[in-house]
Each structure stands twice: as C-alpha cells, then as structure tokens.
Amino acid sequence: MSKSIVAVVGRPNVGKSTFFNKVAGKRISIVEDTPGVTRDRIYAEAEWLGNSFTLIDTGGIEPFSKDIILQQMRLQAELAIETADVIIFMVDGREGITAADYEVANMLRKSNRPTLLVVNKIETKKLESNIFEFYNLGLGDPIAISAKQGLGLGDLLDEVVKLFPKDKKTQENEDRLRIAVIGKPNAGKSTLINKLLGEERVIVSHIAGTTRDAIDTPFQYNGENYILIDTAGIRRKSRIRENVEKYSVIRSFTGIERSDVCLLMIDAQEGVTEQDTKIAGYAHEEGKAIIIIVNKWDLIEKDSKTMDQFRKEIREKLSFMSYAPILFISAKTGQRIHKIMELVDYVSNQHSMRISTGMLNEIIGEAILLNQPPADKGKRLNILYATQASVKPPTFILFVNDINLMHFSYQRYIENQIRKSFGFEGTPIRFIIRQKND
C-alpha cells in the first residue's frame, strides 16, 4: 500500500517549516524569520500511531504578489495540494486573519481535499481566544498548536491520520505483481513500457521529463497478472528547473514504495551517473527486488569486450547492489525485451524466498568453521542461532553472544555465504542482530 501524502500550506512565515521539522524529527527545512525562505517544496518520511506518511513542506502562498519567485512558490503549493491526500492549512494565531489567508482558504475549498485548519503560535492560554476569528475562513474547527514549543502536535496528528484514505485498490490489483520502471529522465522508460504492453499506452517524447506522474497500467503476460508503474524521471536537484518536475519526484519515490520489483533503467550512452546511484540507493533502501536495465545498447559501438567493461563499471559504481542482475536492451528495437519478464518473475521469487531454520543454521555453522568470527580483548563473537523473520526483502535475525563483536565485514561474509547457498539474486538481504539476553 502506498504512503499517504500530507502537504503543509499557508502564506509565508506562519511556521510551516518549524512544524515540518518537529514532525519529521530532524532539521530539514531552513527556518528563518524572513518570509519566503522555503522556496523548494521539501518532503520527509514521518510516522504517527503506526501510520507512515510523506510530509511535504511548501513555500508560502502569496496570492496577490507579482514577484516571480513568490508566483513560483504558489505554483509549487498548488502542485503539492494536487498531490496530497490530506492538507494542513497553517495560519498565524498572533497576527490574525489576513486577506491572503482568505485567498488560500478559497483555493483549498476548490481542491476538495480533506483539510485541517491549524492555528500556529498559540503558546499561552491567553492566546487561545485568538483562534475563534479563524472560523470565518469556513474550513471547520481550528486546531491550536505551537510548532516551536511542540504544543498540540499529538492531537493534530491524531486528526491527520483519521483523514488518510482507506486503501482503494481492489483485491484483484492487490494480488498483481507491481513493477516500477525507474530512472532519470529520458532513459527510455516510457518506450520500454509501450514495448512491454505492445501498444502506445504512455506518451513518448524526446523531451526529458515528459512523464509528469506515476502511471499504473494493469497487463497480462503468459497468463499472469501484473501492474506496470511508469514513474516520472528523477533529476538531480540542481537540474530541476520546473516546479512540475519537483512534484514528479514525490510520485517517483511513491512509485518505488508501491512496487515489488524495480527496473532501474540506465542510458548506455551516458553510463552510470551520480543520479542513477541515488535512485538505485533509494530502491535498495526500500528493500525492493531490482533488475538493472541498460537501455539504448543498439546505439553503442561495440567490440567483444564492451559488454564486460560496461558490466564492470556498473558493479563498481553500484557496488551496494552486486546482487542485481544486469540486462542490456534496446527498448526502441525490442532487443532482448523478451527476457525482462522472465527476470521479473525470477527476482520476485527470490525476493519472497523463505529458508528453513534448520538449513539456515547449517549454512551459518559451515561458514563459521571456514572463517572464524572476529574477537576483541580475548572475547570471540559467537553466532548462537539464526532464523528468517520475513520476506520482501528476506530478513534474518542473528542471535549473538555480544552485539558489539559483530563487525560489518563479518556480517557481509555471512551474507555472501547465504547467497552462495541459496541465491537471493535480485534482492537485498537484511540482518537484525540481537544479543542472546534481548
């Protein structure tokens, strides 16, 4: 199930960024007393009462401004509103209602999105009476908070999670394997999807960033049901010129979150870029099954060593996902396209593979005999017992005598031995290390 999106909107300097940083639990937005400091919409993962959601901090909306930057901030906020499942409309309880607040309220009413009216900067009992004038905005009961002091945030978040949409996906769609096609703009994602679907379902253009949203397309292959998620191209922040592309980044990340398998598309002409590494890292951290697709292979001048050299470069630059299979294709000509779905099924099975506890402990026991665990000050690491906790991604709990003795290098050695015995190709593996008395 995809995470709900919560957008914090309002005119400049009402305390949106302070609130955002409190809820996100870390200082992400720049906080200054100058209106208009938050120009880029910034987002973070947050959680309340077991509900994970994406929180978007927007630049302040100045409805009447002719200033170009403020107009762009307004566009960003509008796009965040369009994207959000729940909107927090923040106003300044010390300053009272302004003409700009009325304009923003009108904009929110037209959006038909669930909206909570939040009156910030109510630090004392004396200021509480200030909230009543905000009933004039016609957006229901105002909720008083002080973002700076953390007052009333729990009650507000209780109301936020109540408004999260129930999962609308049908059981039929829930049972389908979800494949996200990810990568930076113009890598050929839409062309590949059209090839896989056998029809022009997604608009294809040579202008980078054409796909503005994550588009879900159900389809069948060899009698099995799938959903293809065409994510908008993700660009480096310095190259994001249009506000619409900033908005598309959120959809791309939520597309990755909703998927089972990610097809990471790399442009063969450009090679592995820093942005490819960041996108791959996000999918890896989310624990998704991954296939690396090198597209536009037909445009590369080749000799007998070209493919091996390219493969080596990928392994060096994406060293954290040495488990991911690499496939060289041309989405345009259809070269090796038929192998993609076979690989998707294969890595999906690896992603959800479960190993019996007996077999797992046998392999780890053999690994320990081959390579003794590390020791420190005369005390040696002892792996007492192992069990698989979950799948998608495969997650193993290792019970040890002393958690401080488990070095990263030895954990990687254990992972390599598990992969050598069972495969787990195309999927990250996670470990939870526990001390025997935990």
Annotated binding site for GTP: 10-17, 57-61, 120-123, 183-190, 230-234, 295-298
Q: Give every CB contact of residue 433 below 8 A, 6+ residues apart in sequence.
A: 397, 398, 400, 403, 406, 411
Helix (H) or strand (E) segment spanning residue 307: helix 306-317
Residue 292 DSSP code: E
Query: Could you check whether the bond before residue 393 is cis, i.e. omega within 30 degrees of 0?
Result: yes
Other CB atoms within 10 Å distance of the CB of residue 206: 6
Of 83, 87, 132, residue with least CA distance to 109: 87
Q: Which residue has the tokens 């959000």?
A: 84
Positive or negative: CA dihedral 382, 385, 389, 393? positive
DSSP codes, 128-154: GGGGGGGGGGSSSS-EE-BTTTTBTHH
CA separation for the pair 57, 115 (Å, rounded): 15
CA separation for the pair 113, 81 (Å, rounded): 8
Q: Are 347 and 327 in contact (CB under 8 A)?
A: no
Q: Is 68 helix (H, G, I), strand (E, B) or coil?
A: helix
* Residues annotated within a binding site: 10-17, 57-61, 120-123, 183-190, 230-234, 295-298
